[in-house]
């Protein structure tokens, strides 16, 4: 697919380090992101939650128990309180500001995980001038709509759940419907028993000018299958596996 936005301007399939590369370091930590950058990744994926006082943190879960062993949610704690929490007893939870300023050329896919993160994320996009560096996604159509309305067409966004469902349906009927706002369909290979990514889906997305990024793929044979189908990007936890797959095709940049 030709680039339709500066964020998507990359000469080949995009390799995304999912949560920084969750198989190689604690997810969404500075060490994970640093490892990805050292391996040559120029795109990472992360998630954001906002603290009680509106500071954005790169963190996936609704609560802190799984990775930090702490009862509570980022949304209910001040930024100072969140900063004192340690992931796996060792690493701090990075802020989005820390991530975007530490690697100023890194491109970041951001999943807006909760309503309190919407306004701080909109502010961060403007404050740090992230329009060319980020793609925003969410499992909430409502949150995506609010971010798109606030940031306008300069921002790259991926499809929400309803948009993905409509694209899958249209790929079977070959209908176009109304003009689509997002620039990327970021999807799993399947949703339960329903296949999402196949040649028909990819072809129809490309006809509409949409890039197709698939998550989260760690198996080499599945990576190869998706690249053969013509996907535009793959998100992985297993960073060396994706590097090797693209290198074997002379597509690792």
pLDDT at 179: 55
Residue 26 has pLDDT above 90, yes or no: yes
Q: How far apart are CA 25 and CA 207, in angstroms?
A: 38
Q: Please tell me which residue, 175 or 13, carries the higher pLDDT value.
A: 13
Residue 198 has pLDDT above 90, yes or no: yes
pLDDT at 22: 87
Q: Please tell me which residue, 8 or 173, carries the higher pLDDT value.
A: 8
- Chain centroid, CA 56 distance in Å: 16
pLDDT at 229: 98
Q: Please tell me which residue, 179 or 98, carries the higher pLDDT value.
A: 98
Confidence bin at 112 (pLDDT 50/70/90) = very high
Residues 50/110, Cβ–Cβ less than 8 Å: no
pLDDT at 236: 98
Confidence bin at 232 (pLDDT 50/70/90) = very high
Q: What is the rounded (10 degree) CA torsion for 136, 183, 195, 174?
A: 150
Q: Percentage of the chain with pLDDT > 70?
A: 97
Residues 116/142, Cβ–Cβ less than 8 Å: no
Query: Any idea which residues carry the catalytic annotation?
Result: 18, 60
**Chain segment 76-98, per-residue pLDDT in tens:** 999 999 999 999 999 999 999 99
Which is it for strands 156-157 and 86-87: parallel, antiparallel or unpaired?
unpaired
DSSP letter (8 states) at residue 41:
-
Q: What is the mean pLDDT of the chain?
A: 95
pLDDT at 4: 83
Residue ranges of alpha helices (H) inside 65-140 are 65-68, 79-83, 96-102, 118-127
Burial letters 96-134, b for 16+ CB under 10 A, else e: bebbbeebeebbbbbbbbbebbbebbbebbeeeebbebb
């Amino acid at each position: 697919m030709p680039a339709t936005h500066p964020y998507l301007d990359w000469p080949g399939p995009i390799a995304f380090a999912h949560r920084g590369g969750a198989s190689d370091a604690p997810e969404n930590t500075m060490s994970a992101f640093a490892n990805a950058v050292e391996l040559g990744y120029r795109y990472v994926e992360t998630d954001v939650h906002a603290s009680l006082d509106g500071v954005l943190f790169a963190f996936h879960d609704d609560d802190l128990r799984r990775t930090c062993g702490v009862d509570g949610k980022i949304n209910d704690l001040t930024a100072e309180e969140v900063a004192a929490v340690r992931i796996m007893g060792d690493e701090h939870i990075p802020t989005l500001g820390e991530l975007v300023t530490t690697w100023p050329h890194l491109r970041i896919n951001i999943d807006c995980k909760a309503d309190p993160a919407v306004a701080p994320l909109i502010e961060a996009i403007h404050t740090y001038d992230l329009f060319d560096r980020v793609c925003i996604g969410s499992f909430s159509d409502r949150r995506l709509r609010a971010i798109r309305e606030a940031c306008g067409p300069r921002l790259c966004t991926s499809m929400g759940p309803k948009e993905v469902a409509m694209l899958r349906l249209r790929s079977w009927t070959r209908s176009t419907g109304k003009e689509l706002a997002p620039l990327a369909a970021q999807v799993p290979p399947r949703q339960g028993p329903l296949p999402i990514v196949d040649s028909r889906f990819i072809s129809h997305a490309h006809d509409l000018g949409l890039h197709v990024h698939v998550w989260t793929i760690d198996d080499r044979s599945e990576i190869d299958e998706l690249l053969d189908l013509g996907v535009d990007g793959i998100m992985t936890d297993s960073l060396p596996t994706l590097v090797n797959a693209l290198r074997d095709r002379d597509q690792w940049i």
